[in-house]
Amino acid sequence: MASADFDLRDSGLIQIVNAAMAESARRSGPWLVCKPGCSKCCVGPFPITQLDARRLRRGMAELQTREPERAERIRERAREYVARVSGDFPGDPSTGALDQSEAGLQRFTTFADDEPCPALDPATGQCEVYGARPMTCRTFGPPMRGDEGLVVCDLCYDGASEDQIESCEVDPDPDSLEWTLLNELQQTSGTADETIVAFCLTS
């Protein structure tokens, strides 16, 4: 895999997703109340892909160059997070790889529910690696199609009908570019293990 070409296509994916989310926000108008400092969705872990993890590590490396003190504060929060949760981690705490078995997935449903993301600035309630945030963070809020229908932030779309909510839905990755990039990355790295944000920010 040529790294420059891969990064260019990944940047293209991010542009496509961001444009789709902007269009959904435009359609949503005042129903979408997500704003800087609203961090309810930043509490409790969620699985991220190796592609997400790659972006986070690159983002941290860039932050280390620009603002090393801020980068170290994030790392320290991440290390403290990992230390707190390692005993109950539903996977391998030495690597951060999540257990993808049925039992592991079940354990994850109640794992670390009250833990704020270590990328979250406790003073401002804003993400300190926003440009490198995982795909789940980029797409949370507007209507997204899940296994059980449309999923929206429970703070948003108050008073909107189902038809109105559906009218705000967009497909953030219509050509499945993320899936293609993940497959390429798996072939290169030899792993498809999912992880959580904290493990990507510790070093």
List, for residues 85-136, the tens digit of each pLDDT value. 999 999 999 999 999 999 999 999 999 999 999 999 999 999 999 999 999 9
Residue 184 lies in a domain: yes
Q: What is the pLDDT of residues 12-30, one digit of tens each?
A: 999 999 999 999 999 999 9
Q: Cα torsion at 139, 96, 9, 68 (round to 10°)? A: 90
Domain span at 76: 46-200
Residue 192 lies in a domain: yes
- Residue 149 is encoded by which pair of tokens? 């229908």
Residue 76 lies in a domain: yes
Residue 37 lies in a domain: no
Residue 16 lies in a domain: no
Residue 97 lies in a domain: yes
From residue 102, alpha-carbon distances to 147, 192, 199 in Å are 17, 17, 22
What contacts 30, CB < 8 A, 6 or more positions away? none
- The number of distinct structural domains making up the chain is 1
CA atoms within 13 A on the CB side of 75: 14
Separation between Cα atoms, residue 161 and residue 128, nearest integer Å: 35
pTM for this entry = 0.92
Residue 35 lies in a domain: no
Residue 147 lies in a domain: yes
| Cβ–Cβ under 8 Å, residues 17 and 173 | yes
